[in-house]
Amino acid sequence: DTAVSQTPKYLVTQMGNDKSIKCEQNLGHDTMYWYKQDSKKFLKIMFSYNNKELIINETVPNRFSPKSPDKAHLNLHINSLELGDSAVYFCASSQATAAVYGYTFGSGTRLTVV
């Protein structure tokens, strides 16, 4: 199936831990994104990569570090997790000209920090 795949789907961890979320797309897209959806369902962009290069880096704590080993993968590493990091994190991809074709989203990773 052609899709944007995220792992894990659920992640429960203690404060202070370091965790990673992985994202892969097999759509042939060259741009990938991380979005955070808060408890009020509001989606806000965190990072965007085009062909492994960072193009959007919104105001996010530097505990969050994206890594793109190739244009089909964009991982998110989070250091020293805090309670406020609990949210659903969505990966998405598009052609660089997202203006034409829009976004395709993964199914999300629900992160709970306890």
Q: Which residues bind other proteins (CB under 8 A)?
A: 33, 40-45, 48, 55-56, 90, 98-108, 110
* CA 32/CA 95 separation, integer angstroms: 9
CB of 102 vs other proteins, minimal distance in Å? 4
Residue in the block written with tokens 């976004």: 103
Do 54 and 102 contact (CB within 8 A), yes or no? no
**Closer residue to other proteins, CB minimum distance, 18 or 58:** 58
**Closer residue to other proteins, CB minimum distance, 106 or 113:** 106
CB of 80 vs other proteins, minimal distance in Å? 27
Residue in the block written with tokens 């793109």: 68
**Closer residue to other proteins, CB minimum distance, 15 or 56:** 56
**Closer residue to other proteins, CB minimum distance, 100 or 114:** 100
Determine if residue 68 is left, alpha or beta; phi over 0 gives left, psi from -120 to 50 gives alpha, anything else beta: beta
* CA 114/CA 74 separation, integer angstroms: 26
Neighbours of 75 (CB within 10 A): 19
DSSP state of 92: E
CB of 37 vs other proteins, minimal distance in Å? 9
CB of 16 vs other proteins, minimal distance in Å? 27
